[in-house]
Amino acid sequence: MPLKEEGAKLNLGPLKDILRSFAHDFYSSLNPPIRLISHLDADGLSSAGVLISLLRKLNISFHLSIVKYLNEPLIKSLRQESYATYIFSDLGSGDIELLSTLSSSRKRIFIVDHHKPSSLDNEVNVLNPFLAGLNGDIEISGAGMSFLLYYEMLGDPSMAPISLVGALGDLQEKEGNGFMGINKEILNLAIREGYVEVRPDLKLFGGPNYPLVSSLERTVDPLIEGISDSSSGALTLVEKLGIPIKIGDRWTTLSDLTEEQKRDLANELVKRVGSLEKAKYLIGNVYIYLKEPKGSPLRDLSSFATLLNACGRMGGGNVGALLASGLREGTLARAMEFLQLYRRTLSEVLRRVKVRISGRVAFIDEGQARDTMIGTIASILSKSFKNADVIIGYANSDEGIIKISARLTKSGSDRLIDLDELLRMASKEAGGVGGGHKMAAGAQIPRERKEIFEKALFSYLEG
Ligand SMILES: [Mn+2]
């Protein structure tokens, strides 16, 4: 293995031995080109970006695919390929039995993931925090696991910020508490090494050094009435508050504002988001990526995650993964186009979405959002929904399949509902597969089994 410098250490506890032996096995099976398969969400793309950067530094060629999920047809087509080494990132732990069917004397399988493993199989190499008794739901992301491998092999901390992008994308950062577990270790490493700075601030798109008017216009989570997606609305608000649009020949940014101007702006935004619950998302920790130039949307790690997410949802997963790996210029411009398309689609869906309420569950029936967006729609609704514990979104997916996205609302989380367990059980009952995290999970079931799925869901929630 390449020599790594004995620099700053991460406190990994029992994960350290698992990491070391995984890195060793991985390094000794690096027969290029490597087949890399990653998940299409922001964490999956960050994770792929870290692994691409690792392979590039090791001078190893690779073939990348970004996928929604693993299923038999995909594994079947991978089996027909002639690659010797396959890496699955931010997915695979729930499909270890399926992946073991891909393994053979000529194909070695590696999984770098943070979802709860379904089973273990000696034919498949797994790097997963749950194997060390750590909680992959909140303590580390898929990108974090990829970073641990990267750091173990190269001793270089420069990809630490990308692992935090993944953790932010997977909502592992909690208001008030910030990051926990290994995420926190990685954050501290990134701060010590001068890559990241954290401060409490207004959480607008692009962060404190981004042009303020664009920042306001591009903030969609939460949606700000009359501002989100409206450049004239954003411009009018800034002028109304007596804030100059430009200082000299550069755009005014959030960091140029006086405390008083910032307070006025915050008050105005809180008024427009409609509820105090949603307004909470406007203020919190801002993570500044110090190696990105001022004025780049990537300088704010949350916005970096937003951009990757948009790429993944709109069919630009490869662009997102390359962006996360460190590629810029044309790649960033293309990612910004995906973001614009994504925002437009999202606001259209949210404007006309119909919700069916049954008991303490709110259903969004299929036909309203595409399968790569239904999770986001469910997430946005879950933040403000009062009369349900669980939001269940359906979308038509590959032939004959319904994709399900489940999110807990505040009351559902207070009731300690475990969506991973719930979706795993109910989708199995309906002849499908599912799982994920406590607060957010997903499944795929055959279209004609929707009723059976709902029956199983209610019997679990009422039992
Ligand atoms: Mn993830």
Region 202-221 average pLDDT: 92
- Residue 153 confidence class, pLDDT cut points 50, 70, 90: very high
The pLDDT-based confidence of 229 (bands split at 50, 70, 90) is confident
- 10 Å CB burial of residue 408 (0-12, 13-18, 19+) is buried
Confidence of residue 195 (pLDDT cuts 50, 70, 90): very high
| Closest C-alpha to 323, from 332, 315, 314 | 332
Residue 7 predicted with pLDDT over 60 = no
pLDDT, residue 402, reads: 96
Question: By three-state DSSP, how is residue 412 classified?
Answer: helix
What DSSP character marks residue 136? T
The single residue listed with the structure tokens 């869906």 is 349
Ligand 1 centroid to 162 CA: how many Å?
13
Between CA 291 and CA 296, with CA 293 as vertex, the angle to 5 degrees is 115
The mean pLDDT value for 31-55 works out to 97
β-partners of residue 37 are 65, 88
Q: Measure the CA–CA gap between 82 and 406, rounded to whole angstroms.
A: 37
CA of 423 to the centre of ligand 1 (A): 17
Residue 277 has pLDDT above 80, yes or no: no
Q: What is the pLDDT of residue 5?
A: 53
Task: Give the pLDDT band (50/70/90) at residue 351.
Answer: confident
Q: What is the distance in A from the centroid of ligand 1 to the CA of 411?
A: 24
Q: How far is the CA of 223 from the centre of ligand 1 (A)?
A: 24
Tens of pLDDT, residue by residue over 315-325, are: 999 999 999 99
pLDDT in tens, 239-265: 999 999 999 999 999 999 999 999 999
Residue 153 backbone zone (phi > 0: left; psi -120 to 50: alpha; other: beta): alpha
For range 153-157, the mean pLDDT: 96
Mean pLDDT, the chain, integer: 93
| pLDDT for the residue numbered 122 | 80
Domains annotated for the chain, with CATH where assigned, are 15-161 (3.90.1640.30), 197-350 (no CATH), 356-462 (3.10.310.40)
Query: CB of 389 within 8 A of CB of 411?
Result: yes
Q: List CB contacts of 137: < 8 A, sequence separation 6 or more.
A: 114, 172, 420, 437, 438, 439
User: Ligand 1 mean position to 339 CA, how many Å?
Assistant: 20
Cis bond before residue 14 (omega within 30° of 0): no
- Beta-carbon contacts of 361 under 8 Å, excluding residues fewer than 6 positions away, are 388, 389, 390, 391, 392, 457, 458, 461
User: If you measure from the C-alpha of residue 141 to the centroid of ligand 1, how many angstroms do you get, rounded to a whole number?
Assistant: 5
How many whole angstroms from 394 Cα to the centroid of ligand 1?
21
Question: What's the average model confidence in pLDDT over 372-376?
Answer: 91
Helix crossing, 42-57 with 317-325: angle to 10°?
50
CA of 145 to the centre of ligand 1 (A): 10
pLDDT band of residue 174 (cuts 50, 70, 90) is confident
CA 2 to ligand 1 centroid distance, Å: 28
Q: Does the pLDDT of residue 8 top 80, yes or no?
A: no
What's residue 1's pLDDT? 58
Q: What is the dihedral of CA 74, 78, 79, 80, to 10 degrees?
A: 110
Query: pLDDT for 283-328, tens place per residue?
Result: 899 999 999 999 999 999 999 999 999 999 999 999 999 999 999 9
